[in-house]
Structure 1
Amino acid sequence: MLTLNVVNKELCVGDIRIVGVSSASIFLIGDTEVVSLSSMFDTPPESVIIAPFVPLPTEE
Structure 2
Amino acid sequence: MLNLQVENKQIFVGDVRIVGVASSSIFLIGDTEVISLSSMFDTPPEAVIISPFVPLPSEV
SS at match of 1:46: helix
Structure 2 match to 1:53: 53
Query: How far has the Cα of 1:17 moved from its partner?
Result: 0.3
The AA in structure 2 aligned to 1:39 is S
RMSD, aligned α-carbons = 0.8
* Consecutive unaligned residues in structure 1, runs of 5 or more: none
Q: Is structure 2 residue 10 aligned with structure 1 residue 10? A: yes
Which runs of 5 or more structure 2 residues have no equivalent in the other structure? none
Q: Which residue of 2 aligns with 1:34?
A: 34
Runs of 4+ in 1 over 4 A off after TM superposition: none
Deviations, residues 34-56 of structure 1 (Å, cap 9, x unaligned): 01111100011011001111111
Shift of 1:58: 0.7
**Residues in 2 aligned to 1:5 and 1:25: alpha-carbon distance in whole angstroms:** 20
Q: 1:19-40, CA deviations, whole angstroms, 9 ceiling, x for partnerless residues?
A: 0011111000010100111110
TM-score, normalization: structure 1?
A: 0.93
Equivalences, count: 60
Aligned sequence identity (%): 77
Take 2:24 and 2:11, find their aligned partners in 1: how far apart are those partners? Answer: 25
